[in-house]
Protein backbone atom coordinates (compact mmCIF):
# COMPACT_ATOMS: atom_id res chain seq x y z
CA UNK A 1 0.00 0.00 0.00
CA UNK A 2 1.10 3.54 -0.67
CA UNK A 3 0.62 6.39 1.76
CA UNK A 4 -1.32 9.17 0.06
CA UNK A 5 -1.10 11.68 2.90
CA UNK A 6 -0.75 12.30 6.62
CA UNK A 7 -2.44 14.90 8.79
CA UNK A 8 -2.34 16.08 12.39
CA UNK A 9 -4.38 18.65 14.27
CA UNK A 10 -4.53 19.96 17.83
CA UNK A 11 -7.49 21.84 19.37
CA UNK A 12 -7.84 23.75 22.64
CA UNK A 13 -11.01 22.33 24.22
CA UNK A 14 -11.95 25.47 26.18
CA UNK A 15 -11.68 27.70 23.10
CA UNK A 16 -13.70 25.20 21.09
CA UNK A 17 -16.37 25.07 23.83
CA UNK A 18 -16.54 28.88 23.79
CA UNK A 19 -17.03 28.87 20.01
CA UNK A 20 -19.79 26.22 20.29
CA UNK A 21 -21.53 28.35 22.92
CA UNK A 22 -21.68 31.54 20.84
CA UNK A 23 -25.23 32.53 19.85
CA UNK A 24 -25.85 31.88 16.17
CA UNK A 25 -22.77 29.72 15.68
CA UNK A 26 -22.84 27.42 12.69
CA UNK A 27 -20.20 25.07 14.13
CA UNK A 28 -22.67 22.26 14.80
CA UNK A 29 -23.57 22.10 11.10
CA UNK A 30 -20.06 20.72 10.49
CA UNK A 31 -21.00 17.62 12.49
CA UNK A 32 -23.23 14.83 11.20
CA UNK A 33 -26.27 13.74 13.25
CA UNK A 34 -24.50 10.63 14.59
CA UNK A 35 -21.56 12.71 15.78
CA UNK A 36 -23.88 15.18 17.53
CA UNK A 37 -25.76 12.32 19.25
CA UNK A 38 -22.50 10.75 20.41
CA UNK A 39 -21.05 14.01 21.76
CA UNK A 40 -24.27 15.08 23.48
CA UNK A 41 -24.50 11.65 25.15
CA UNK A 42 -21.27 12.50 26.97
CA UNK A 43 -22.93 14.52 29.73
CA UNK A 44 -19.69 15.33 31.54
CA UNK A 45 -18.13 17.42 28.79
CA UNK A 46 -19.58 17.22 25.26
CA UNK A 47 -17.21 19.98 24.03
CA UNK A 48 -14.21 17.68 24.59
CA UNK A 49 -15.74 15.09 22.26
CA UNK A 50 -16.71 17.70 19.66
CA UNK A 51 -13.20 19.16 19.81
CA UNK A 52 -11.44 15.85 19.19
CA UNK A 53 -13.79 15.14 16.27
CA UNK A 54 -13.03 18.59 14.84
CA UNK A 55 -9.31 17.77 15.13
CA UNK A 56 -9.96 14.50 13.26
CA UNK A 57 -11.79 16.33 10.46
CA UNK A 58 -8.93 18.84 10.18
CA UNK A 59 -6.37 16.02 10.14
CA UNK A 60 -8.26 14.26 7.33
CA UNK A 61 -8.39 17.52 5.34
CA UNK A 62 -4.64 18.02 5.86
CA UNK A 63 -3.85 14.45 4.79
CA UNK A 64 -6.18 14.87 1.84
CA UNK A 65 -4.52 18.18 0.88
CA UNK A 66 -1.06 16.62 0.94
CA UNK A 67 -2.33 13.89 -1.39
CA UNK A 68 -3.40 16.65 -3.81
CA UNK A 69 -0.04 18.48 -3.85
CA UNK A 70 0.30 20.67 -6.97
CA UNK A 71 -3.26 19.77 -8.05
CA UNK A 72 -6.47 21.70 -7.37
CA UNK A 73 -8.62 20.62 -4.41
CA UNK A 74 -11.26 18.05 -5.29
CA UNK A 75 -13.95 19.03 -2.79
CA UNK A 76 -15.69 22.35 -2.14
CA UNK A 77 -15.28 24.67 0.78
CA UNK A 78 -17.24 22.79 3.49
CA UNK A 79 -15.66 19.36 3.59
CA UNK A 80 -16.23 19.07 7.37
CA UNK A 81 -19.78 17.72 7.05
CA UNK A 82 -18.53 15.14 4.52
CA UNK A 83 -16.13 13.66 7.08
CA UNK A 84 -17.68 11.72 9.94
CA UNK A 85 -16.02 10.18 12.99
CA UNK A 86 -17.85 6.98 13.86
CA UNK A 87 -17.29 4.53 16.70
CA UNK A 88 -17.60 0.76 16.56
CA UNK A 89 -19.33 -1.35 19.23
CA UNK A 90 -16.19 -1.14 21.41
CA UNK A 91 -15.84 2.64 21.08
CA UNK A 92 -12.94 2.59 18.61
CA UNK A 93 -13.10 5.59 16.27
CA UNK A 94 -12.77 5.56 12.50
CA UNK A 95 -13.52 7.86 9.59
CA UNK A 96 -16.50 7.52 7.27
CA UNK A 97 -16.58 9.71 4.17
CA UNK A 98 -19.76 11.01 2.53
CA UNK A 99 -20.74 12.69 -0.74
CA UNK A 100 -17.86 14.17 -2.79
CA UNK A 101 -15.29 13.07 -0.21
CA UNK A 102 -16.31 9.43 -0.64
CA UNK A 103 -16.11 9.82 -4.42
CA UNK A 104 -12.67 11.43 -4.23
CA UNK A 105 -11.14 8.70 -2.06
CA UNK A 106 -12.96 5.51 -3.09
CA UNK A 107 -11.59 2.52 -1.25
CA UNK A 108 -8.94 4.54 0.59
CA UNK A 109 -7.95 3.22 3.99
CA UNK A 110 -7.96 5.96 6.62
CA UNK A 111 -6.13 5.31 9.87
CA UNK A 112 -7.20 7.50 12.80
CA UNK A 113 -5.85 8.09 16.29
CA UNK A 114 -7.62 10.46 18.72
CA UNK A 115 -6.45 11.81 22.05
CA UNK A 116 -7.56 14.35 24.61
CA UNK A 117 -5.79 15.34 27.81
CA UNK A 118 -6.51 18.34 29.96
CA UNK A 119 -7.49 21.24 27.72
CA UNK A 120 -6.10 19.74 24.52
CA UNK A 121 -7.58 17.37 21.93
CA UNK A 122 -5.66 15.97 18.99
CA UNK A 123 -5.96 13.66 16.02
CA UNK A 124 -3.54 11.94 13.65
CA UNK A 125 -4.62 10.56 10.26
CA UNK A 126 -2.85 8.48 7.63
CA UNK A 127 -4.56 7.88 4.29
CA UNK A 128 -3.45 4.81 2.38
CA UNK A 129 -4.19 3.77 -1.15
CA UNK A 130 -5.46 0.20 -1.25
CA UNK A 131 -3.42 -2.44 -3.00
CA UNK A 132 -4.52 -2.88 -6.56
CA UNK A 133 -4.47 -6.52 -7.49
CA UNK A 134 -3.87 -7.03 -11.18
CA UNK A 135 -4.73 -10.52 -12.36
CA UNK A 136 -1.90 -12.34 -14.05
CA UNK A 137 -2.97 -13.82 -17.38
CA UNK A 138 -2.49 -17.56 -17.66
Q: What does the alpha-carbon distance between residue 79 and residue 69 come to, in Å, rounded to a whole number?
A: 17
84 is in an annotated binding site: no
Q: What does the alpha-carbon distance between residue 135 and residue 74 come to, in Å, rounded to a whole number?
A: 30
128 is in an annotated binding site: no
For the chain, report the end-to-end CA distance as a whole number of angstroms: 25
Q: What does the alpha-carbon distance between residue 13 and residue 133 come to, in Å, rounded to a whole number?
A: 43
Residues 82-110: b if buried by 16+ CB within 10 A, e if exposed: bbbbeeeeeeebebebeeebeebbeebeb
Question: What residues form the annotated binding site for Mg(2+)?
Answer: 9, 58
Question: What residues form the annotated binding site?
Answer: 9, 58
Amino acid sequence: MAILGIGFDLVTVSEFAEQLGRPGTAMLSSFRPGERRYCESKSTEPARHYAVRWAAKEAVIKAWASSRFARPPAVGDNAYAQIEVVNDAWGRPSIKLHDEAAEFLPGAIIHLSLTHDGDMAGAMVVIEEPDIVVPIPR
